[in-house]
Structures are given as structure tokens and as C-alpha cells.
Amino acid sequence: MARTEKKKDVVLVGFGWTGAIMGIELANEGLEVLALERGHDQATVPDFQYPNMIDELKYGIRYGMMEKPANTTVTIRRSLDEEALPYRSLGTFLLGTGVGGAGTHWNGLNWRPMQSEYRLKSYVTEKFGADVMTEDMTIQDYPMTYEELEPHFDRFEKVAGISGTAGNINGKIVEGGNPFEAPRSDEYPMPAMPSTWDGVKFRDAAKAAGYHPFPSPGGIASKDYKNEYNMQMGPCNHCGFCERYGCYNYSKSSPQTAIIDALKRKKNFEYRVNSEVLRVEKAADGKTVTGVTYFDHKTGEEVFQPADLVILTAFALNNVHLMLVSGIGQPYDPNTNEGVVGRNYAYQITGGYTLFFKDENFNPFIGTGANGFCIDDFGIDNIDFAKEGFVGGAYWRAGQTNGQPGHTMPLPAGTPSWGAGWKKGIGEWYGHAMNIGAHGSVMSYRGHYLDLDPTYKDRHGRPMLRMTYNWHPNEIRQTQFMKQKMEPVAKSMNPTTLQEGFKKEGAMFDVRPYQTTHNTGGTVTGDDPKTSVLNRYLQSWDCHNLFVMGANTFPQNTQYNPTGMVGGLAYWAVNAIRKDYLPNPRPLV
């Protein structure tokens, strides 16, 4: 029997980065705000404390910080004619849970997409002709410009505490930074982190090849820091336990370091953990929502939480799932290419070279999630799509993130994977290997989408989210292009031996090895309700008092790690809610 809780002005579904941003900004407006978090509560101490956190087996191998697939998962298939099966064993992407969400266990890499990415379809069409897009490609423009978003990127970077070197300040190219980045109004709030030796080696090789290396921008504090909410970070000690771990050192940017303690001081803010939202409730006329129903794991009952404003602030896949199970917006149908919810799902494509040096010692115990140097010479803005025959780009990075023996011990191909030969290989090569990675964009396609699984149900009896995704020839061409460009750079570094790991023609999406957790699309933002779920303010076209945050709003996947964009969009949207929506609640477009 469902109980009903006292009505709130705002209910937030999920208490990670976007939930925390919405929470503090709307609580500052004086609204009664409630965040519902599926998982547990967690704080730096005691939940991430030293040395308990740096337990590779518990967190790095057994994914102690992640949502267990037994509780929540998706089903996956690679084409319309396959039967989707549940993703039962974590591999290709890792979904977090608990307060802070994925913002606690990320690597910290923080980017703004390149300038062409905000109007990608127009850019491609104008510059190279519509023909360069494959027939099934469904990319589209963002409904807002980079110039409109810039102040919000800047704000997020300052709230999150990002270290980096600016390369373009108001159009002026700054030596040492990324000359290809979109113009920024200000420096990064903290100077770039120092790099380990592998990053420096790559920097020098890239420079010698005529490219433009710059330090990786990341939410890892290079000094002590205080943001606009007076929240604090301390300088990182390069322990190499970022991704898959919570930071014990107050050094990695997270909702915990950037927002939560400031938000907890507000009497008009409340959060409830172990409260899993099952659906958003629509009003009888379907034009607004009335609140959410959640499952209270403490009491084991369903709870109706009425609210004037509902904001989905969960992970991308969960936001899309909630829209589908709540029946808000027309689900996408790839056969007719009609409908919008679930449309334009995209993943990312990665590849790289591993270089082995007999005489180099990289001290892999030193690292951060955003370590090293990058180049953007093969970013989306810098590639002639007509000439190269694909749409997309990648940034490259070299910089060890960790030297954890359980999952980060690269060995030359042919080394036995167990026994004496393996031991010998480890003895010979541990600490002598480095990696250059290409982190590539993925376009949207008619056949890549999310919907409700016809067979499998979750523990609450809801149909699971079904993902239909495979590598597209466009991305294979892109990643093979990166290989071709990277090979001479890697060879110029004179490794004892090297090996490549790029996807080849015919490669099928394999969910077993970790790739990235950057899932995008499904409830994309756009100008046209026929091809988007959300308007330019991330407001539902169907129900005006429902807003949806997250990477699920991206029309196609960028070449970058999405957090910077997710944070920037959240500040953009909440600015519109505060200034435009609250005084007069209505469809903003």
C-alpha cells in the first residue's frame, strides 16, 4: 500500500552531480527541495577513507562502488534481429550508485565539446555536404549555442574545481593550452596537474610531430581550492586510485567535495537515500506531472511524493528508463523512425597503442585519473570528413591513471596469461609500459536506440531498459584513421615493442571489457518535438514541469568525457528554471 508524503516544490530523482547542482541552486531560491537517491549515503570519511578505499580487489575488480546488476541493469543486443540479454556482469560500462553517484568514482577528465559539435549536422552539411553522413545517421544540432553555454561551462568548472591550462581565452591563443578548444572566458580555476614521465614522453613526441600537446584538464586538485559555495579541495597526492574509487584525499572533484555539505546546511533541502524512483506520475490531462512514486527500501513500500516540479537527475540510462516506464513522450521506433524517447543512443569508441620500453621505468604507482598530456589535432573540428570518409574525431591522451596489478598490467601480445610465463612477463614489463589512447566520438544512427525490453523485468516488475547498439562503419573508419595517425607518433618514441588496440572492420560491440561509461542520448535536446524529447532548456516537450538532466540529452556522443557538458547543461537549465520558469511556470519554448 503506497503512502503519500508531504508535497515538495521540487523533487530530484538521483543525488549525483546534477542532483546536487539542481538542489543547491533551487534551494537557494527558497524552494522546498527533496532529492531521492536510490543508493546509500556516503561521505569522504568514513566511506572513502584511507586505506580501506584503496582496495583493488573490493573496488577495482569487484566493483564495490557500483550498482549491482542484480538490482538494476539493462539488456543489450547489437541489432534489431538479436534477442537482448541482461548485462549481468559489469564490464563495458560501470554504473554507480549512492550519494554522489558516478561523480564519486570517475577519473575526473573534464571537457567542453569543440565548437562544431553544438551544430554538428549544420556544420557537416555546410562544410562537407550532406553526403558525408551515412544514410542512417541521425545527428542533429544542439538547440543552444556554445556562446550561450559558455558562462555555464565556466561556472561548472569553477564549482567542480578543474585543473588545467587554458588554450584559448576569449579568442586569444595561449601557449601551452589546447589551441583548438572553444574560446573560454577565463582560465581554469586551478593550474594543470604535473604529469608523469609517460605523459611527458608523449608530449615531446607529439610536439616533434608538429602537434599541439597540452596538459589533460581534470577535476583533480593541483592545489588547495575553495569554490563559490565555499566548499574545499586539497591537493592530490597522485595515489592512482581515481576511477572505480572514491577519493580519500578530498582531491577529486565530486558532489561531496563541491556541493553537498553546503547544500545540507539548507533547511529547505532534504534528501532520502534508499529511495528508488519507479516512475514519474502524470496528471490526468497528461500535460504536467504530479510527482513521483518511489520504492522505500527501508520500509519496503511504495511512496507517492507529490511535487510541483520534477527533475530527473539520475544517470543517463536511468533517466531514459524512467521516461519510458512513465509513458512520457512517444517511444522511438527504428522501423518507422518515429517517436523520440530512446532515440539517438550512442556510446564511445576508444583505441590506442601500448608501448613497451625495456629501459624506461614509469613508476606506475604514481597517477591520477586525469594525468598526462593530450592532443586535439584530430578532434572533430580538425578533420576533413569529405576526404577521410567519416564523421567524428578523437582526442588522444597519454598519462598513467594507475598501476594496480589486478587490472592494469599491460603485457606484450603473446605473453602467457597464467603460469610461469605470465610471471616472467610481469617481471619483465611491469612498470615499463605506457599507453596512448584515442577517445573517439560516436554518431547517432537509426538503429541505435533504447526501449523497454519485451521479456526481462527488473525487481520492481518494470520492463528493463533495452539497448540496441553496435559499432558502425563510420566509427570504425574513424578509429582506424586514428590508428594510422598514431602509429608514427608511437614509433617515433622508439619503444622496445608496441602493440595496437583499435577496432577493425566487422568488430562487434563486446560488453565484457571495460571501455567507457559515457552513454549518451535517449532523451535528446532539440528544436523540434519530432526529433527531441526536451526543448533547449532541457524541459519536457510533453509536461512542462518536468526537466531532464544528464548525458541522455546529448543529440550524439562527443569525442570527450561528458561530465563537463553535463555540468554546463545543468547550470544552463537551472538558470532558465530560476529566472524564467519559476516566475511563470509554462512551456519555455
Partner 1 sequence: MKKLIRVLGTLVVLGIIALLAFIFVPVQRTGPVTQLAADFKPAEGQGEYVMRAGDCMACHTNEGGKPFAGGRAIQSPMGTIWTTNITPDKETGIGNWSLADFRAALYDGVTPNGTHLYPAMPYENYRKMSEEDIVALYDYFMHQVEPVSNKVEETRLAFPFNMRFGLRAWNWLAASYPAGFKPVQGADEQFNRGKYLVEGAGHCAACHSPRNLFMAQDGIDDTSKAFLSGGEIDGYTAPDLRGPDSGPQKWTTEQTAAYLATARNAHSSATGEMMLVVRDSLQYLTHEDNMAIAAYLKKIGTAPANASAAAAKPEITETEKLLTDAKPDMPLGPRLYLDNCAACHIVNGKGAGETFPELDGNSLVTAKSPKGLISVILHGAELPSTADRPMKLRMQGYDNRLSDEEVATLATFLREGWHNKAPSVSAAEVKAVRNLAAH
Cβ neighbour number for residue 487 with a 10 Å cutoff: 14
> Is the Cβ of residue 51 or residue 171 nearer to partner 1 in the bound state?
51
What is the 8-class DSSP label of residue 259?
I
> Is the Cβ of residue 44 or residue 556 nearer to partner 1 in the bound state?
44
Pick the binder of partner 1 from 28, 29, 49, 327 (CB under 8 A).
49
For 309, left (φ over 0), alpha (ψ -120 to 50), or beta? beta
| Region of 169-177, 244-252, 386-394, 427-435 interacting with partner 1 (CB under 8 A) | 244-252
Task: Give me the half-sphere count of Cα atoms (radius 13 Å) on the Cβ side of residue 148.
Answer: 14
Minimal distance, residue 233 CB to partner 1, in Å: 7
Q: CA distances (Å), 106 to each of 191, 435, 516, 527, 558, in order?
A: 20, 19, 10, 31, 17
| Region of 196-204, 246-254, 508-516, 532-540 interacting with partner 1 (CB under 8 A) | 246-254
Minimal distance, residue 353 CB to partner 1, in Å: 32
Nearest to 372 by CA among 353, 397, 403: 397
321 is catalytic: no
Residue tagged 530523482 (cell numbers): 13
Residue 232 found at the interface with partner 1 (CB under 8 A): yes
Minimal distance, residue 14 CB to partner 1, in Å: 22
| Region of 44-52, 67-75, 320-328, 446-454 interacting with partner 1 (CB under 8 A) | 44-52
> Is the Cβ of residue 48 or residue 146 nearer to partner 1 in the bound state?
48
Residue 268 found at the interface with partner 1 (CB under 8 A): no
Q: How distant is the alpha carbon of residue 170 from its chain centre?
A: 26
Residue 239 found at the interface with partner 1 (CB under 8 A): yes
Pick the binder of partner 1 from 2, 3, 40, 46 (CB under 8 A).
46
571-574 contacts at long range (C-beta below 8 A, 24 or more positions apart): 571/21, 571/25, 571/152, 571/155, 571/156, 572/144, 572/148, 572/149, 572/152, 572/537, 572/538, 573/537, 573/538, 573/539, 573/547, 573/549, 574/21, 574/22, 574/25, 574/26
Q: How far apart are CA 357 and CA 435, in angstroms?
A: 11
Pick the binder of partner 1 from 262, 323, 340, 374 (CB under 8 A).
262
Q: Which of 152, 212, 321, 518 is catalytic?
A: 518
Sign of torsion over alpha carbons 171, 161, 263, 318: positive
Locate 372 and state its grid cell. 598526462
Minimal distance, residue 262 CB to partner 1, in Å: 4
Minimal distance, residue 44 CB to partner 1, in Å: 7
Residues 6+ away with beta carbon under 8 Å from 478: 349, 390, 391, 392, 393, 394, 440, 441
Pick the binder of partner 1 from 18, 42, 44, 563 (CB under 8 A).
44
Minimal distance, residue 265 CB to partner 1, in Å: 5
Which residues in 211-230 contact partner 1 (CB under 8 A)?
A: 223-226, 229-230
Minimal distance, residue 235 CB to partner 1, in Å: 5
> Is the Cβ of residue 46 or residue 286 nearer to partner 1 in the bound state?
46
Pick the binder of partner 1 from 265, 423, 460, 579 (CB under 8 A).
265
Q: How far apart are CA 216 and CA 389, in angstroms?
A: 28
| Region of 134-142, 193-201, 243-251, 387-395 interacting with partner 1 (CB under 8 A) | 243-251
Residue 406 found at the interface with partner 1 (CB under 8 A): no
**Could you tell me if 318 and 72 are in contact, meaning their C-beta atoms sit under 8 angstroms apart?**
yes
Number of residues that bind partner 1 (CB under 8 A): 28
Pick the binder of partner 1 from 261, 281, 302, 428 (CB under 8 A).
261
Question: Max Cα separation, the chain?
Answer: 71
> Is the Cβ of residue 229 or residue 514 nearer to partner 1 in the bound state?
229
> Is the Cβ of residue 262 or residue 370 nearer to partner 1 in the bound state?
262
Minimal distance, residue 261 CB to partner 1, in Å: 5
Locate 461 and state its grid cell. 516488475
Minimal distance, residue 423 CB to partner 1, in Å: 25
Residue 59 found at the interface with partner 1 (CB under 8 A): no
Residue 267 found at the interface with partner 1 (CB under 8 A): no
Residue tagged 530512446 (cell numbers): 342
Residue 233 found at the interface with partner 1 (CB under 8 A): yes
Pick the binder of partner 1 from 179, 234, 306, 463 (CB under 8 A).
234
Residue 336 found at the interface with partner 1 (CB under 8 A): no
Minimal distance, residue 50 CB to partner 1, in Å: 7
Locate 541 and state its grid cell. 516537450
Burial of residue 459, with CB atoms counted within 10 A of its CB: 0-12 exposed, 13-18 middle, 19 or more buried: exposed
Pick the binder of partner 1 from 3, 68, 88, 264 (CB under 8 A).
264
Residue 249 found at the interface with partner 1 (CB under 8 A): yes
Locate 52 and state its grid cell. 580501506
> Is the Cβ of residue 263 or residue 310 nearer to partner 1 in the bound state?
263
Residue 41 found at the interface with partner 1 (CB under 8 A): no
Q: How distant is the alpha carbon of residue 286 from its chain centre?
A: 31
Amino acid of residue 550: G
Locate 281 and state its grid cell. 506520475
> Is the Cβ of residue 136 or residue 261 nearer to partner 1 in the bound state?
261
485-491 contacts at long range (C-beta below 8 A, 24 or more positions apart): 485/378, 486/352, 486/353, 486/396, 486/436, 486/438, 487/353, 488/209, 489/202, 489/205, 489/206, 489/209, 489/211, 489/436, 490/205, 490/353, 490/355, 490/436
**Which residues of this protein are in contact with partner 1, per CB under 8 A?**
43-46, 49-51, 223-226, 229-235, 237, 239, 248-250, 257, 261-262, 264-265
Residues annotated as part of the active site: 518
